[in-house]
Amino acid sequence: MFNKDESKAVRKPLSIPLSRILQYWRELTSNVWGRRILLLLVAALLLILPRFLSNYWLRVLDIAGLYVMMSLGYNLMFGYTGLFNLGFAAFFATGAYCYAILASPLHNMHLPFLVILPIAVGLTSLVSYLLGIPSISLYGDYLGLVTLAFAEIFRILVNNLEFTNSAYGIINIDPISVPFFTFKSVSDYYYLILPLCVITYFVIKRLEQSRIGRAWLAIRNDENAARTTGLDTRQLKLLACAIGVAPVGLAGVIFAGMQTFISPMSFTSKETWLIIAMAIVGGLGNADGAVLGALLLIILPEPLRGTPIESARALIYGLLLIFFSLFRPQGLLPRRHRASVPQAEKGT
């Protein structure tokens, strides 16, 4: 009720310069040809980028690409559907361990990448779906607690089971290879991650505009209202659980193949917090925002490496979260409403 005017008053001074930039942007992109040319330019730039960058920066970009995928998945769960998942690290680890176990000397299994990929992604989705079945009817913080508890259970298991080589982690994981080609250098991985990111982006973008995407948004805005319009909210939320973690599992697989070494230390709750920060900074409920948030939060801190500020990285993430929820809860790139969608951004 009062909320709307209040938050607007706070937001105003901040959003004036931003909205002007956005306005130019919109003028450019409202033209079909403008949009196509822009898209081509971006694509060309992304394709030739490895020629100009050192291996170090390529590596940063590879990592950023993985986070883009995860952030997109998180955005689907939290941004569209409003499911507060605090256990993302566990799903990342599921994908990574799946690949690592099936393609490493640990159990002497060396299945090809293209076989493992569907298994790993499917398994990640299945785990999320199964976790969702009992817990999906819980709301907000309760769901957060269950997923957090699940992530802890998962971490304890991975840390102690012989099957996952406990706390030592798994070494000598096979690099990712498709028939006739093995991905070796960072630029190889760049050309693997880039198309995967683009595919994830477009799939999620299409989902967003589909019937299902609109249904998810309806659930986020008002679940009871969504139910009264005849949506099976339970199934839809479970679907969001399963689909939302798929890119996370995918990122985990690539991560394991790229690093050739994983240990439980790589999948702490810090990863989850980072992904949440990305989604919030970029803008919830908007795939572009998720991409922007991931790129910003991975690439911007890089020049600070080695300086004293580096150890304050988590502090900055925390402050960013506070800052954004106070002054710009919709993120840098908020969801744009289509004319047919009524303006109802507010949660409960």
Nearer to another protein, 208 or 220 (CB): 220
How far is residue 332's CA from residue 280's CA, in Å, rounded to a whole number? 8
**Residue ranges that bind another protein, judged by CB under 8 A:** 2-3, 6-7, 10, 78, 82, 84, 134-135, 137-142, 144-146, 148-150, 152-153, 156-157, 159-160, 223-224, 233-234, 269, 273, 276-277, 280, 311-315, 317-326, 329, 346-348
Residue 6 beta carbon to another protein: minimum distance, rounded to whole angstroms: 7
Nearer to another protein, 26 or 346 (CB): 346
Nearer to another protein, 39 or 153 (CB): 153
Residue 136 beta carbon to another protein: minimum distance, rounded to whole angstroms: 8
How far is residue 221's CA from residue 280's CA, in Å, rounded to a whole number? 17
Nearer to another protein, 40 or 314 (CB): 314
Nearer to another protein, 145 or 203 (CB): 145
Residue 261 beta carbon to another protein: minimum distance, rounded to whole angstroms: 22
Question: Which one-letter DSSP state was computed for residue 170?
Answer: B
Residue 315 beta carbon to another protein: minimum distance, rounded to whole angstroms: 4
Residue 74 beta carbon to another protein: minimum distance, rounded to whole angstroms: 12
**Cβ count within 10 A of residue 108:** 6
- Do residues 68 and 195 touch, judged by C-beta distance below 8 A? no
CB within 8 A of 192, min separation 6: which ones? 176, 183, 254
* 256 token code pair: 């394991």
Strands 181-182 and 177-178: antiparallel
Nearer to another protein, 2 or 52 (CB): 2
**Cβ count within 10 A of residue 152:** 14
Residue 267 beta carbon to another protein: minimum distance, rounded to whole angstroms: 14
- Cα→Cα distances 195→69, 184, 189, 191, 200, Å: 11, 17, 10, 7, 8
Integer Rg of the chain from CA: 20
Nearer to another protein, 159 or 177 (CB): 159
Residue 85 beta carbon to another protein: minimum distance, rounded to whole angstroms: 11
DSSP string, 10-75: HHHHHHHHHHHHHHHHHHHHHSHHHHHHHHHHHHHHHHHHHHHS-HHHHHHHHHHHHHHHHHHHHI
Nearer to another protein, 113 or 324 (CB): 324
How far is residue 238's CA from residue 170's CA, in Å, rounded to a whole number? 32
Relative orientation angle of helices 141-160 and 113-135, to the nearest 10 degrees: 130
* 7 token code pair: 């938050």
Nearer to another protein, 150 or 190 (CB): 150
Residue 95 beta carbon to another protein: minimum distance, rounded to whole angstroms: 22
Cα three-residue angle 161-125-241, rounded to 5 degrees: 120
Residue 1 beta carbon to another protein: minimum distance, rounded to whole angstroms: 8
